[in-house]
Amino acid sequence: MNFDFSVLFQYRDLLLQGLFVSFELTFIAIIGGMIIGAFLALMRMSSIWIVSALAGGYVNFLRSLPLILVIFWFYVLTPKIVGHPIDAYASVLIAFILFEAAYYCEIIRAGISSVKRGQVQAGLAMGFSYLRVMRYVVLPQALRNMVPVLLTQAIIMFQDTSIVYVVGVRDFLTTADVVANSTNRPIEFYSLAAVTYLVICFIASHLVSRLQRRYAL
Amino acid sequence: MIEVRQVSKWYGNFGVLDDCSLTISKGEVVVICGPSGSGKSTLIKCMNGLEAFQKGEIFFDGISVGAKGTDLPKLRSRIGMVFQNFELFPHMSVLKNIALPQIKILNRRRAEAEARAEKLLLRMGLKAQAEKFPAQLSGGQQQRVAIARALAMDPVAMLFDEPTSALDPEMINEVLDVMVSLAQEGMTMAVVTHEMGFARRVANRVVFMDQGKIVEDAAKEEFFGTPRSDRAQQFLSKILQH
């Protein structure tokens, strides 16, 4: 067996493009998921029964499905619903955002309920309105409690983007696989893929634990 | 200043407060005591509208606390409240805990609010702790900061909900001393506490509650001399035994 790692270098532009797609997917899914997740969290905590039940139903439904099924589903269904074929990239983005929103909803809700009830009472007793208690007292504490989980979720999200392989979106892993097959150098390219994911996730989780230590309350 | 008229509160079939009436005049110090679960904390939280009640009326300085149109935040900003678990805001420094409500609620300038905070911290003997965070302070220190935070709003009355119950014994006196000096300055105070020494020193009246009812409302001398109700006698003999 002889290995030739110089082929990796020849394909660096393609691979970097793929890596960029992976980061882009992660980033957009996190932002979109957090925005929708925040609304879902507010709905779930609503005192209006039907509103909270709707959000709860959505969250429980999506959390009980495997991600890959949600991706297939949107890939096959969205063109049927909108009536014309859509880009695979767009369909996985929608799937990721809607899937992640369910998880972010639970993270945000847990963050808000991690703040003691007495804090709300103390804020109200000072003369803050309920909204200002949220703004000055509850949300800053909730966010601080949420940061480690949010970042951990982002790392999982980054790894999960590789699932787009199944619908042929050219993310990092798909690109590595395509090039591995065309050059007949699978070991080199799969090793590179493994090392890349490992390094990125290792650095990211190292940052998370440092943040955690620094902001431990 | 605080007038509680025939207030009742219940959860489902479970009565928490049963026809409670109580008047606290300006400058008066009223201690509310009673066994746990008797409703004394609930009663004091009704006084600034933190707890709702189903029947009766409460007036603070002539304003109805329970009425729909009442501007509760504004009303509450005039009543200081101190909690059993201090409830300082853990993400802010001690100084900011005291300054922020003044800035956001009373629209004081930052410099003015901080000067007021520093003056109060000096009075509490906590000037050196201004830049620390609540978690770095002892329980007794935290509670004194909480009192300073309430006083910074220039309240016309103060409510204390078991202010020393969560403290280690050696820290109780540092908090009680501050409360005694407040009482001696003429602050109107309603204090839920089991500290009968405090009641003896500064209370004008002692209210005894049991099972949601005000069983006894008597001048201090009368209460400690000969409580009229059996329940109050039993309670006193239990907590004064040692």
Residue A1, pLDDT score: 59
Contact indicator for B56, B5 with CB cutoff of 8 Å? yes
Task: Say whether B153 and A126 touch across the interface (CB within 8 A).
Answer: yes
Q: How far is B150 from chain A (nearest CA, A)?
A: 7
The pLDDT of residue A3 is: 73
Distant-in-sequence, close-in-space partners of A9: CB < 8 Å, separation ≥ 6: none
Q: How far is CA B118 from the centre of its chain?
A: 23
**A124 neighbourhood in chain B, CB within 8 Å:** 50, 72-73, 76
- Interface probe with A: pick from B41, B76, B147, most Cβ of A within 10 Å: B76
The answer to whether the beta carbons of residues B121 and B98 sit under 8 Å apart is yes
CA distances from A43 to A144, A198, B114 (A): 21, 37, 38
CB interface of B with A, residues 209-238, below 8 Å: none
The complex scores an ipTM of: 0.93
More confident residue, A81 or B174: B174
Asked if A127 lies within 8 A of B90 by C-beta distance, the reply is no
Tell me the per-residue pLDDT of B18-46, one tens digit each, with 9 for 90 and over: 999 999 999 999 999 999 889 999 999 99
Instruction: Judge whether residue B163 has pLDDT over 90.
Output: yes
Could you tell me which residues come within 8 angstroms of residue A148 by beta carbon, excluding any fewer than 6 positions away? A208, A211, A212
pLDDT of residue A217: 45
Chain mean position to CA A76: 22
**pLDDT confidence bin for A216, thresholds 50/70/90:** low
Contact B87 A119 (CB under 8 A): yes
| Whole-Å CA distances, A77 to A61, A68, A100, B240 | 17, 14, 19, 76
- Distance CA(A165)–CA(A42), nearest Å, equals 34
Residue in chain A closest to B46 (alpha carbons) equals A125
Chain A hits for B45, Cβ within 8 Å: 121
Q: Which two tokens stand for residue B218?
A: 């008597």
8 A C-beta contact, residue A171 and residue A177: no
Q: Per-residue pLDDT tens for A111-159?
A: 999 999 999 999 999 999 988 998 999 989 998 888 888 888 899 999 9
Chain B nearest CA to A208, separation (Å)? 20
Q: Which residue of B has its CA nearest to A121?
A: B50
Q: What is the mean pLDDT of chain B?
A: 93
Evaluate if residue A215 carries a pLDDT over 70. no
Q: What is the pLDDT of residues A4-41, one digit of tens each?
A: 777 778 888 889 999 999 999 999 999 999 999 989 99
B89 contacts on A by Cβ (under 8 Å): 119, 122-123, 136-137, 141
Q: Taking the model in full, what pTM does it have? A: 0.80
CA dist., res. B15 & res. B9, Å (int): 6
Tokens 């230590």 locate to A213
Helix (H, G, I), strand (E, B) or coil at A145: helix
Pairing of strands B213-219, B188-192: unpaired
Distance CA(B82)–CA(B139), nearest Å, equals 13
Q: Which of residues 119-178 of A touch B (CB under 8 A)?
A: 119, 121-129, 132, 136-137, 140-141, 144
Q: What is the pLDDT of residues A64-98, one digit of tens each?
A: 999 999 998 888 888 888 888 888 898 899 999 99
Positive or negative, the CA dihedral B124, B127, B131, B132 is negative
The per-residue pLDDT for A168 is 85
Q: Where are the alpha helices (DSSP H) in B26-168?
A: 40-47, 72-76, 94-105, 110-123, 139-151
CA distance A153 to chain B (A): 24
